[in-house]
Amino acid sequence: MKTVKDYIRTIADFPHEGIMFRDVTTLFADARGFRMAIDQLLHPWAGEKIDKVVGLEARGFILGGAIAHQLSKGFVPIRKKGKLPGQTLSQAYKLEYGEAIMEIHEDAIQPGERVLIVDDLLATGGTCGAGIKLIERLGGEIVGCSFIVDLPELGGRELLESLGMSVSVLCEFEGL
């Protein structure tokens, strides 16, 4: 029986030499694999009250939209700076070299709403950490964070757990 990990291809030296890129588009393209991933991303949160699903740019939009549909809940994108048209809150975070900024609409989450964060890959945890701060600034309560892939050597899970988050991953890959 295939697992979610079996649907993910690895592309060597992309986008830079020495990187083993974990490509989830092959998972998304397979109906059975995609359904399996959505079901498994939801499973740890069964029975939890969830008001909104947040997807982190960009593949988190695909997952978050499908999960929000499955739950009959609203979907909220957290995007790179300058991509959202309305009034936004911004949160800077550190990258390997430099800094980036994520944004959310100011009215996307109401105080007390319970939020599930989803994305395809957990590496250093910087993007998700910025998302957590944005949601908390709006008064949202984070139920947990769900990812398809974890790269444990990069420490993202530990970072998110140090912020008090419950983290669920479907599979792990060693290396970068």
Ramachandran category for residue 119: left, alpha or beta (phi over 0 → left; psi -120 to 50 → alpha): beta
Backbone angles phi, psi at 149, to 5 degrees: -120, 140
Token digits of residue 114: 């319970």
| Residue 48 annotated to the active site | no
115 and 53 Cβ atoms separated by less than 8 Å = yes
Of these residues, 9, 17, 96, 153, which one is catalytic? 96
- Out of 9, 22, 59, 137, the active site residue is 59
Compute the distance between CA of residue 39 and CA of residue 33 in angstroms, rounded to an integer.
Answer: 10
What distance in Å separates the CA atoms of residue 116 and residue 55, rounded to the nearest whole number?
9
Task: Verify whether residue 103 is a known catalytic residue.
Answer: no
Distance CA 62, CA 75 (A): 10
Peptide bond just before 58 cis, omega within 30 deg: yes
Q: Dihedral of CA 61/149/171/115: which sign?
A: negative
State the catalytic residues: 59, 96
